[in-house]
Chains A and B, each alone.
Chain A
Amino acid sequence: MNLLIAVLAALLGITAVYYSFPIFLISVFPLLFVYVWWKTGQKRTLIYGGIVFVLFSIRMDSAERNNVSAFNEPPERVEAVILTTAAVDGDQVQWQMRERHHQEKIFVSLYMAEEKELLQIQSLTPGSICRVEGQWKKPAAAGNFSAFDYKNYLHKQQIHWTVEVSGMDHLLCRSPEQDSFLSAVSQWRYFGIKHIQKHFPEELQGISSALIFGDRNDLAPGVEKAYQQLGLIHLLAVSGLHVGIISGILYYTGLRLGVTREQMSFILVGFLPLYAMLAGGAPSVWRAVLITMLVLLYQRFSKQTLPPVTALGAAALAMLWIDPYYSWYIGFQLSFFISLSLLLSFPILRRLHSLPLQLFGVSAVAQTASLPIILFHFYEFSLLSYILNIGFVPFVSLLLLPFCFLLFFLSLLLPQAAEAAMKPAEFIILLLHNNLQALAESRILQVVTGQPDTLQLLLLSVSLLFVFAMAEKKHRMGIVLAAGSLAVVFGWLFAAPYFDSKGAVTVIDVGQGDSILIELPYRKGVYLIDGGGALAFPKEEWQKRKKEYDPGEQTVVPFLKSKGIRTIDKLIVTHGDIDHYGGLYAVLKQIEVKQMLYGRSDEEKDSERQFLETAYRQGIPIVFAEKEMAWKEGDQYFQVLAPLDNKASGNEASIVLYAVMGGRSWLFAGDLEEEGEKHVMQAFPGLKADILKAGHHGSRTSTSASWINQLQPKAALLSSGRCNRFGHPHGEVLDNLEAGEVDIYRTDEKGAVEIAFTHQDIVSIRQASEEILNDQCGS
């Protein structure tokens, strides 16, 4: 118990310093103080807790102070040591390196010009010393609300620069002068992964690399996503079970060979950190390794068994001391919290007598207890995972994991025998993964809650705590009450948007493209105008990435889920350009669409037709937009102004949507160009718009001076990619807007724009990033 309080104090100290003592944290202190006093009644505990808090505050403070770049200006070239195995994806390769002079970590990515460069790259082992010439960039902050913040993510790994190298000519490497022990270990890991790539069949590569070396680069993205969505991803993380199995095998082999138990303990304590590094050094590996080491050492010196909670707490403290930034790693949070939950649930689990029941119990406890963490990061969870884990946990840990290890060693010693064993295994894994992916795509029993806020998270955690506590005591009334409060919290999560008097229009930052979400007050309607999409350039087979950039999958869908959006009432596809509908494939797959409004063009492109067919096959009613089409929703009014006829083509065929929301007039102009603007002005001579989504990403062919004159907008929204090659938005357009005294909000500058409104007026306008994101475009 005291150690748990110490870990809590440490986490508080770390976060308090990082967020410079926010009000929320400060209000937690007295609560915690009272709790500890009530629980233990020991002044001692409070004093120790206070000391731990101060120590970890100081530790975090010094970590933050030292976590700054030595480079104020990008250097022309540096000498750096390769730290990690090369992550090759299509024509892109990435490494972490350490600059030799300042000992600063940098993130290097290289685009291969030719396939044969891959051979050179594969010869670069960790520890090699390279002269790096490239374009230094500061990583960008998040361009969307509640989205992944790359800058923050790298900051927590003490990385402040990414370096883009244009080819192998600019990366001159030589073998390490002398092998340090550490680089030797990462080389072994490198060769191990290479060995799997060379000798294992494709379907087995990913899972074997993940299970043996903790490397998921070779896992197909769809497969990894399926594991994650179905709540099975923890099985792919190297963790306690691996360490247990490996320690067990080594220990008993040692004993058989005549080594004494004591000596074997020491050998294991020496070997385990090595294994942690070989297995990729994820937080879950270190947790397991540290705990095993602690238990072994304690047993050796005190002849008593170390209580597991103590070992867990001590491991957490050690890891947080070494790297306080672990506090923010999902892997760290899940790994420690689930372990703790299982230990706390021991009295409940002990009551379950049959093996299947126990398996279910363990998986149910792990899934349920981790809900607050899962919902905070992923906005959804799978009820299916409760059932799947019963089968998958024993399958992966008892069969697949030992089998992969066996196969790996067999392929080193007796390649022929290994090859024979691989065929049936590949078949089984392929079958399994196909089914998993199909199951994940079906989204059966997938519950999207949206991102809980701090209060909801707190109430959710407290309700869960009481559910477990009452289940432990078999207190019937208590279980009913606790489950009731849990239901209330979930009800709140689900129903909150329906009671929110605020609506919002969000221009999502999808890079070069358009995607605008309209949420009406009280969630009377959810409309999505376009879904972004990456322009595809012809690529050769070897250049293709496993996971091409898809703003739909990576940005739009997570954003919708974070808002708890399960259904889109109207999906408005302004026209058939890929940067408007490309991302919608992902949306169609994961979110229910009631109706699609489509801006039909005179001539339909093949790819456009393919998209329409996909939607059609899903049974989504497709309506081709026509002028004068209009609908009302409470105070809100919507009208299609264009296309005026079906003769327009390309950008001019865009749907132009006029809306009245929050007492203001809005105009969403799609990719409409000057010609189309003229036609609209002719058709609607009195047209005004307070807020204008400027046409065609701010291209000079749109948003003419006369258009601005006519509409007299107060604010203009411009959606374009950072440093895009088209030069959007064009200076002329910006000048025109400024001349008209229009406030300009650009996604390329500060990311997504959110305009919140009530039925009376606009209440706030904010952007995702406070800093300018596109100041490093280069020439």
Chain B
Amino acid sequence: MGSKRRCLYCMEPRQEQLSWHGLISRADDPVCPDCRALFTMLMSRDCRICGREKDEQSAPFFQDTRCGDCVAWGEKDIGRALDHNISLYRYDKAMQQWMARWKYRGDPALTAVFQKEWVQIWRRSYASWKVMALPAGPGRTQERGFNQAVLLADMLPGDRLNGLEKKDEPKKQSKSTKNQRESLFYQPFYMNNQEKIRFNGEKILLVDDIYTTGTTVRKAASVLRSAGAERVASFTLARSTGTLSRKEEKAQ
């Protein structure tokens, strides 16, 4: 009776869970319902700018619809370079594990797990924006064999924007400490001069896997803005909330 299908994530054989909706739709989920339930979608956009959730930790720093971080970003030029960020999922234990398998242990097929939601959100709000994958340094791409941002951007139909490049960093970001990472004077991004690209009032959607403090995307955004982009927003798979923001750190 047909071949046994397996869940893309847990690899367990799957029993077809028939349902009413299943009868009239064909897009079946590549992962089983149990795995699907592991991930938490971010439904409320508490911070209108970065999508940070209002929880015990972040609530005291919220000013209206902006979180403490974004208030602080608003005072800086580089901070204002990014229009806003939208993230699909909370960066929790399950997401961390998924990222570990996908990115570090190199299982790019797992990208398909979030394809449906990813494309859906893009289609709903960003179909008119130009998509650009956040570049990785040549060394990093070599090491991994792929750039995760490109994988995510490739799920979206239409053309990619090119021209932005990144220098290899001295250290991997996630292993560096907050201060090093957020040194606003270090600019790893640059425009690929040979192509002499100027953006004429384009709206650019920068795609990356994770939004933590927003420094990286803002650095990229500021380069794009100076190259003529009108607005730059970032579209990320997960919004990390584990780390404390600067203001919160200070308060402690």
Contacts and interface: CB of A to CB of B under 8 A. Distances in A.
Interface of A: 1-4, 38-39, 41-42, 44-45, 307, 309-310, 343-348, 465-466, 468-473
B18 interface: yes
A648 to B, nearest CB: 64
A3 B1 contact: yes
A287 to B, nearest CB: 18
16 contacts: A1-B18, A1-B22, A41-B26, A309-B16, A343-B18, A344-B18, A344-B20, A344-B22, A347-B17, A348-B20, A468-B20, A469-B21, A470-B21, A471-B20, A472-B20, A472-B21
A39 B55 CA distance: 43
Contacts of B1: 2-3, 310
Interface of B: 1-2, 15-26
A647 B19 CA distance: 71
B23 A465 contact: yes
A450 B23 CA distance: 29
A1 B16 CA distance: 8
Nearest to A365: B20
A348 B20 CA distance: 9
Contacts of B23: 39, 344, 465, 469
Contacts of B21: 347, 468-470, 472-473
B19 A472 contact: yes
Contact of A2 (B2, B17, B25): B2
B16 A307 contact: yes
A309 B20 contact: no
A469 B26 CA distance: 13
A465 B18 contact: no
Contacts of A309: 16, 18
A3 B2 CA distance: 10
Nearest to A369: B20
Given A2-B1, A2-B2, A346 B26 contact: no
A503 to B, nearest CB: 40
Contacts, number: 51
Given A344-B20, A465-B23, A469-B25, 12 more contacts: A2-B2, A39-B23, A39-B26, A307-B15, A309-B18, A344-B22, A346-B17, A347-B21, A466-B24, A468-B20, A470-B21, A472-B21
A46 to B, nearest CB: 13
A366 to B, nearest CB: 14
A309 B22 CA distance: 13
A749 to B, nearest CB: 48
B19 A344 contact: yes
A213 B1 CA distance: 36
A42 B24 CA distance: 16
B18 A469 contact: no
Contacts of A346: 17, 19
Of residues B15, B18, B23, which shows the largest number of chain A Cβ atoms within 10 Å of its Cβ?
B18
A344 B20 CA distance: 5
A105 to B, nearest CB: 36
Given A2-B1, A2-B2, A38 B19 contact: no
Contacts of A348: 20
B7 to A, nearest CB: 15
A347 B2 contact: no
B20 A469 contact: yes
A132 to B, nearest CB: 49
Contacts of A307: 15-16
A465 B2 contact: no
Contacts of A42: 2
B5 to A, nearest CB: 11
Contacts of B15: 307
B18, B20, B23: which has the most chain A beta carbons within 10 Å? B20
Contact of B19 (A39, A44, A45, A347): A347
Contacts of B2: 2, 42, 44-45
Nearest to B1: A2
Contacts of A471: 20
Most buried by B among A1, A42, A345: A1
B21 to A, nearest CB: 4
A471 B15 CA distance: 22
Contacts of B22: 1, 344
Contacts of A45: 2
A514 B26 CA distance: 57
B177 to A, nearest CB: 43
Nearest to A344: B20
Nearest to B20: A468
Nearest to A464: B20
The 3 residue pairs across chains A and B that have the minimum distance between CB atoms:
A468-B20, A469-B21, A469-B20
Contacts of A465: 20, 23-24
Q: Which of B1, B2, B19, B21 has the most CB of A within 10 A?
A: B21
Contacts of B20: 344-345, 348, 465, 468-469, 471-472
Contacts of B24: 465-466, 469
A468 B21 CA distance: 7
A38 B18 contact: no
A364 B24 CA distance: 21
A154 B1 CA distance: 37
Contacts of B19: 344-347, 469, 472
A416 to B, nearest CB: 52
B24 to A, nearest CB: 5
A468 B16 CA distance: 18
Contacts of B18: 1, 4, 309, 343-344
B30 to A, nearest CB: 15
Nearest to A4: B18
A344 B16 CA distance: 11
A344 B22 CA distance: 9
A38 B15 CA distance: 21
A472 B18 CA distance: 12
A192 to B, nearest CB: 39
Nearest to B33: A347
B211 to A, nearest CB: 27
A309 B18 CA distance: 8
A471 B2 CA distance: 29
B35 to A, nearest CB: 16
Contacts of A343: 18
B118 to A, nearest CB: 18
Contacts of A473: 21
A500 to B, nearest CB: 33
Contacts of A4: 18
A2 B20 CA distance: 15
A350 to B, nearest CB: 10
A724 B183 CA distance: 107
A469 B19 CA distance: 8
Contacts of B17: 346-347
Contacts of A347: 17, 19, 21
A310 B16 CA distance: 10
A466 B25 CA distance: 11
Contacts of B26: 38-39, 41
A253 B26 CA distance: 46
